[in-house]
Amino acid sequence: GQSLEQPSEVTAVEGAIVQINCTYQTSGFYGLSWYQQHDGGAPTFLSYNALDGLEETGRFSSFLSRSDSYGYLLLQELQMKDSASYFCAVRAGLTGGGNKLTFGTGTQLKVEL
């Protein structure tokens, strides 16, 4: 099976940088995805890492170390609209074909003035 750990809450001030960590245990690992979910909304895809290293998309970056079973999401120049829950998810194969994502329990990010 798969299990993921991430902090339940993180608080930061507007304009700052915040890092949300994710450690995982899984078999058949393909990669690590990150999703954002605002209160009452649906999850939306942010980034994906299949290989070690840093992927940058605007203010958001994501990092993966396969040897350490560890990744993080880095949010720079925080804005109030970044207040949301952030989920890491491991991608693995399915016995019935295709892939699936197993999600962590989420990190609630609060951005303060």
Partner 1 sequence: NAGVTQTPKFQVLKTGQSMTLQCAQDMNHNSMYWYRQDPGMGLRLIYYSASEGTTDKGEVPNGYNVSRLNKREFSLRLESAAPSQTSVYFCASTGSSGGAYEQYFGPGTRLTVT
**Interacting residues toward partner 1 by CB under 8 A:** 4, 8, 30-31, 33, 41-45, 48, 50, 87, 89, 91, 94-106
Cβ-contact 54, 63 below 8 angstroms: yes
Residue closer to partner 1 by CB (options 12, 101) is 101
Q: Among candidates 90, 91, 92, 55, which has minimal Cα distance to 73? A: 55
Least distance in angstroms from the C-beta of 113 to partner 1: 26
In the complex, least distance from residue 11 CB atom to partner 1, rounded to whole angstroms = 17
CA distances from 30 to 14, 41, 87, 110 (A): 34, 27, 17, 30
Nearer to partner 1, 87 or 111 (CB): 87
> Judged by CB, which is closer to partner 1: 31, or 70?
31
- What SS3 class is residue 80? helix
CB of 48 to partner 1, least distance (A): 4
Residue written as tokens 């998810």? Answer: 89
Q: Which is nearer to partner 1, 63 or 87 (CB)?
A: 87
